[in-house]
Structure 1
Amino acid sequence: MAQEVRGVVARAKGEPVGVETILVPDPGPGEAVVRVQACGVCHTDLHYRDGGINDEFPFLLGHEAAGIVETVGEGVTDVAPGDFVILNWRAVCGTCRSCKRGRPWYCFNTHTATQPMTLADGTVLTAALGIGSFAEKTLVAAGQCTKVDPSASPAAAGLLGCGVMAGLGAALNTGQVERGDTVAVIGCGGVGSAAVAGARLAGASRIIAVDLDERKLAWATGLGATHTVHAGTADVVKSIQELTGGFGADVVIDAVGRPETYHQAFYARDLAGTVVLVGVPTPEMVLQLPLLDVFGRGGSLKSSWYGDCLPERDFPVLIDLYLQGRLDLDAFVSETIGLDDVEAAFDKMHRGDVLRSVVVL
């Protein structure tokens, strides 16, 4: 029997979100109902509200979540009621060409719950990233639940569900930062600051944070940046080169996703260095680079999807590092709020006032 719970719904493009009654069905085969304990407010949720993802309104927002498995459907064996889990939007299929080649983090056939959640009148909701966790409970595919140590703070753990994992993975998985590397991160909001933390975790010798906002540079410094560059007052490429012996960084991570910042990242890397694009561009953006420079500088130009993470591999390890005091996930939680405060949190995020607002239920 479907359960009635409260959830944050975006009904129309650009309109303020509201808390409404939603119906969560019992889990079917391969599905699970999760009681949400905490969910971060991510830019992707704002993109959904503003019609930047698609126009399949109404949306049930929220996707950076942790909670307790309440019930599971037929055939579910990897998680059980009572498990503390982080939700993810990459439930790998295990059978596509990428999975069969041993690269499940690139799975081309990820899946979500088959049944929809609805409004009280039966209107079908589109769950953000197939999760929809700005809600007291949500229905997901069981593969979207990753079991982790239950002693972790839900507010901190849930952030691995999207933005923080994207940044950490851009450094650790995509950029493959190694001990002694020099790293520059352009854009130090939630994702960029997480990339800084990932570079520190990997043992980078010099980590250069670049941003236009002094507050974000301060956040990045607290998470491990050894040097900062204010992009509004300094030449970014020249500054990074000067801080790396005149050569450029071994790995440059663009956490903004604009042609201007990618251009900076490209020329701020050392010869044979790596550029990682983890910031998400908009459809109209076009990049122009001399092809001879692409050839002549060598190295790698990579895009990072969800930090190239494999949740079942990465989430438990990162939570263990958090509990050991080696990864400060708590530093990303700027404030905790209620479901009714999501619209105000969007405004704070847009102004750059927070790394993450986290809904706690």
Structure 2
Amino acid sequence: MSASSIPTTMQAVVMHGPEDYRLEQLPVPTPAADELLIRVEAVGVCASDLKCYHGAAKFWGDENRPRWVQEGITPGHELVGEVVAGSDEALARHGLAFGDRIACEQIVPCGECMYCTRGWYWMCGPHDMFGFKHYNGAMAEYMIVPALARAHRVSKDIPAHHAAFSEPLSCSLHAVERAQLTFDDVVVIAGCGPIGLGAVIGASHKTPKQVIALDFDDDKLALAKKCGADLTLNPGTVDVEAEIKALTGGYGADVYIECTGHPSAVSQGLNLLRKLGRFVEYSVFKDPVTVDWSIISDDKELDVLGAHLGPHCWPAAIGIIESGVLPMDEICTHQYGLADVQQALDQVGDSSGASVKVSIVPGL
């Protein structure tokens, strides 16, 4: 795209407060000397986008906790777009050329704090992220890619909304990496939404002894099978703990990866793990979670691990999607235009389970 073909104005979703998102006509931003401009092709709508929309802090019952909504900022961090403008310096910095399609990691690390200088960029102290703090996100026709962003090239041979799935998949792969899977492990993954399905994909690529997926939705369990699960169980119809202990000689699973964000799934995991098992938590909870910590310590001596973002997993996530092995049309279930952002948010919040990955495609 030549500079002359870039319009002067664009449509963008702008946050004005909790449950007050507006589609506005804004100037197309001009990149600084070290920045790039991309034409947004697709942006996934994350559960964290929905929590942000509703105000986030009120879910924890703590009004002192800062709200995620930043007035005047455009949301959207599961993004993919085409590089359309920028200096030679900015292109060289990211190893890109005009016309390249890129996905960006959701965090824009400062590069200077203790975490960044020790190589832990995904835990950056300032923790600026697209759409949540100081950087506009991708629910817009165009978006600035700042100098400190971490960009990854993605093939143009796949649909844009499939390419945008690289963000949640990288997060899932990081959760799987945290679990340190071995060939002998029985791995249980709770939840078959986008993150849970990604964990199934990542775990199956590690070839443990068995990957077991849990969900209350039989259609999502069927999709988990297509993504690599060896066994699926519906907690609404079977005693999951009893089933897994029967499969493991009464011991329990080696690894449990929690991807539901529901408090009951935490105690479920602690109970069905064997002694010395590994519990990985990825979810963002809307309600407080209370568990019997004696299970973690005195009873089982469990390793409890958190996971955040998708560091170092982006090339693998993109490669898996580009390989064509995943049922991407069944994972990416709903696409909306920018004008339908409210429908997209409502779709993510729909408890009926009708959607898996919801995306906004500005061209629609």
d(CA) in 2 for partners of 1:219 and 1:66? 24
Cα distance, 1:183 vs. partner? Answer: 0.8
d(CA) in 2 for partners of 1:331 and 1:144? 30
Query: Are 2:118 and 1:101 equivalent residues in the alignment?
Result: yes
Cα distance, 1:131 vs. partner? Answer: 4.2
Q: What amino acid is aligned across from residue 341 of structure 1 in structure 2?
A: D
Q: Does the Cα contact within 8 Å between 2:171 and 2:308 map onto a contact in 1? A: yes
RMSD: 2.7
Q: What are the superposed Cα offsets for residues 28-56 of structure 1, whole Å, 9 maximum, x if unpaired?
A: 25432211111112222222221114343
Query: Are 2:157 and 1:143 equivalent residues in the alignment?
Result: no
Query: Are 2:166 and 1:160 equivalent residues in the alignment?
Result: yes
Q: Which residue, 286, 299, 302 being the options, matches 2:302?
A: 299
Q: What are the superposed Cα offsets for residues 176-196 of structure 1, whole Å, 9 maximum, x if unpaired?
A: 223342111111111111111
User: 2:18 maps to what in 1?
Assistant: 13
User: 1:120 maps to what in 2?
Assistant: none
Q: What amino acid is aligned across from residue 270 of structure 2 in structure 1?
A: F
Matched position secondary structure for 1:22: strand
Percent of residue pairs bearing the same amino acid type: 28
Q: Does the Cα contact within 8 Å between 1:251 and 1:269 map onto a contact in 2? A: yes
- Show the 5 A alignment for 1:219-298: 219-282=223-286, 285-291=288-294, 293-298=296-301
d(CA) in 1 for partners of 2:228 and 2:134? 30
Cα 1:129–1:336 change in 2 (3 A) is: farther
d(CA) in 2 for partners of 1:169 and 1:292? 25
Matched position secondary structure for 1:142: coil
User: 2:61 maps to what in 1?
Assistant: none
Q: Does the Cα contact within 8 Å between 2:13 and 2:22 map onto a contact in 1? A: yes
- Show the 5 A alignment for 1:294-333: 294-306=297-309, 309-310=310-311, 313-327=312-326, 329-333=328-332
> Unaligned regions of 5+ residues in structure 1, if any?
114-125
Matched position secondary structure for 1:220: helix
Q: Does the Cα contact within 8 Å between 2:12 and 2:26 map onto a contact in 1? A: yes
Q: What are the superposed Cα offsets for residues 210-267 of structure 1, whole Å, 9 maximum, x if unpaired?
A: 1122222222122111212212233332222223332222210111233321111112
Q: What amino acid is aligned across from residue 100 of structure 1 in structure 2?
A: T
Query: Are 2:65 and 1:48 equivalent residues in the alignment?
Result: no
d(CA) in 1 for partners of 2:191 and 2:166? 19
Matched position secondary structure for 1:264: helix
d(CA) in 2 for partners of 1:39 and 1:319? 15
Cα distance, 1:335 vs. partner? Answer: 2.9
Using structure 1 for the length normalisation, give the TM-score. Answer: 0.84
User: 1:122 maps to what in 2?
Assistant: none
Q: What amino acid is aligned across from residue 90 of structure 1 in structure 2?
A: I
Q: Does the Cα contact within 8 Å between 1:187 and 1:209 map onto a contact in 2? A: yes
d(CA) in 1 for partners of 2:7 and 2:344? 30
Q: What amino acid is aligned across from residue 67 of structure 1 in structure 2?
A: G
User: 1:217 maps to what in 2?
Assistant: 221
Q: Does the Cα contact within 8 Å between 1:48 and 1:59 map onto a contact in 2? A: no
Matched position secondary structure for 2:148: helix
Query: Are 2:204 and 1:200 equivalent residues in the alignment?
Result: yes
Cα 1:205–1:329 change in 2 (3 A) is: farther
Q: Does the Cα contact within 8 Å between 1:11 and 1:57 map onto a contact in 2? A: yes
Cα distance, 1:75 vs. partner? Answer: 5.1
User: 1:346 maps to what in 2?
Assistant: 345
Q: Does the Cα contact within 8 Å between 1:112 and 1:141 map onto a contact in 2? A: no
Cα 1:240–1:222 change in 2 (3 A) is: same
